[in-house]
Amino acid sequence: MTPTISVRGLRKSYRDVHAVDGVNLTIDQGEVFALLGPNGAGKTTTVEILEGHRRRDAGEVAVLGDDPGTAGRVWRSRIGIVLQTATDAAELTVAETVRHFATYYPNPSNVDDVIDACGLTEKAGSRIRSLSGGQRRRLDVALGIVGNPELVFLDEPTTGFDPEARRQFWALVEKLAADGTTILLTTHYLDEAEALAGRLAVIARGRIVAEGKPSTLGGRASADAVVSWTDETGPHEVDTADPQRVIADLSARGVVMSGLRVSRPTLEEIYLDLIGDAA
């Protein structure tokens, strides 16, 4: 199967600053892929090149089989983009805006279904200027997916969402992926990346420093575990590569344990280590 996104040796510099310095990525059809990194790491430049909004200095890039630097309108109709910020027509209603954007595409989704999926049904007749920040963000998402795209770029999509709205959005992403839509997600919410992405990559100083499943990124699955428990002498905590052996040993010695817990490094801890090492 041809990858939806294929990147080899991608480079982009601004004078003496190497914003993107030899990035390689492969993203398959129907995959939810998260690109993580601190501000200034190069992820926005990388995504803008993939969207066809910025020219690269070097490297090979194919998105939906075409070079985004030269692809035309037909190619653009196959992608959806949710930017970090967007301008809007404040006097139009939500339904009018989504319906208008739907006319830009040859095979748009049902407007009412998109509005409902983004949690805006009750606001369909409201003017955009009356929406809250979170509701405007949901409208950005609706405009990004109304064209029934094969590939969606989601740049910090849940900024301003309350917890319930975030969960609703996660369900929407999962449905899009189940229908075969490929999604490239950038987010600063690591719980969001862990919940949605099948794979992710961490970019720092213009380079990919780690790539893999959220559960195995940066050696997370094989990292030492922390076994903690409380017994008659008080709380205890042990770092170990073999937590099962520690627990078996405690049981063999007749230790009565309460609050037994085995934990490995969180995705956030691994991520902070990775970007710290790169810096």
Q: Where are the alpha helices (DSSP H) in the chain?
A: 43-51, 73-76, 94-102, 111-117, 133-145, 163-178, 190-196, 243-252, 267-278
Q: Give strand pairing partners of 33.
A: 184, 199
| 0.95 exceeded by pTM | no
Provide the total of helices (H) and of strands (E) in the chain, helices listed first: 9, 12
Note the pLDDT tens digit of each residue in 190-228: 999 999 999 999 999 999 999 999 988 888 877 788 899
Residue with tokens 């230790």: 255
Read off the tokens for 102.
């739907």
Note the pLDDT tens digit of each residue in 210-220: 999 998 888 88
Q: Which pLDDT does position 85 carry in this prediction?
A: 67
Pick from 125, 196, 210: nearest CA to 154: 196
